[in-house]
Each structure stands twice: as C-alpha cells, then as structure tokens.
Amino acid sequence: MPKTLSPERGSKKAETGSHARKPVTVTPKVLEDVRKQIVSRFPEMKGVRPSVVRRRLPSDASIVDMIEKIDGELGTTLARMKTKASKKEIYCASFERKIKTSAGGMIQKIVRVTFDKEGHILKLVSSK
C-alpha cells in the first residue's frame, strides 16, 4: 500500500514550492532502493536523506512553438513526433551535501534522480 511521505524535514522549499502541489506517494521500499543505487554510485552521499518531490508533467505545447520560431526544421520535426508526457507518476529525489575541496573550501554537491513509482531510474544528473 503506497504511503505518503513527507518531504525532508527542514526542506522548506520542497514544502512550499510548486513541486509540492502533488502529493508524494512513493513507498518507503522504492525510495530505499533508489537511495541504495545512488549511494553505490555516489559514496559521498552515504547518510544523506533525500528530499523527494513529484515531478510536474506540464503540457509543453508552447515550448514546441518557441523551438519552431528559433529553428523551423527542428520545431517541425518535434511537432511530427507528437511527443507526449508520460502519464506515469514521476518523482525527483535530490541528495545534497557540502564537500570539502582540496583548496580547503566547501562545494555543494547535488545529485538528482528522476524515477517512477516502481523505482525505475529515468534520469540521473549531478551538479557541476
């Protein structure tokens, strides 16, 4: 049974931002599986509790129009593809940690993973 998870305590942005419009309904098991995969790839994120938000899947027809105005061929190709946003529930977990550099300062390292309700990782990016 899916359980609604609260965003990470202290993650004010996640609570008040536009992401929070849709409830997060990831099971703890799925989230733990995702977390394990991230930590295996980014050992520096061990012990970090991610903030989780549901990705909004807005209708982006206007984006195709904007692309077409910049590059007609690209816009036309994209329009022909009739891309549709998945109706799946998609989530983004964000792992953040400050890490010491060799110069002695700190940099903020962020790993963001997009995954579906079943825990399949759809996209994985990290901060530069």
Rule CB under 8 A: is residue 41 a binding residue for other proteins? yes
Roughly how many angstroms between the first and final C-alpha of the chain, as a whole number?
37
Closer by beta carbon to other proteins, 29 or else 118: 118
Which residues are within 8 A (CB) of 64 and not within 5 positions of it... i.e. 6 or more apart?
75, 78, 79
Q: Which amino acid is at 43?
A: P
Closer by beta carbon to other proteins, 29 or else 76: 76
Query: Which of 5, 8, 25, 64 is in the footprint of other proteins by CB under 8 A?
Result: 64
Closer by beta carbon to other proteins, 4 or else 43: 43
Cβ 34 to other proteins shortest distance, Å: 15
Angle at 97 between CA 92 and CA 103, to 5 degrees: 140
Rule CB under 8 A: is residue 21 a binding residue for other proteins? no
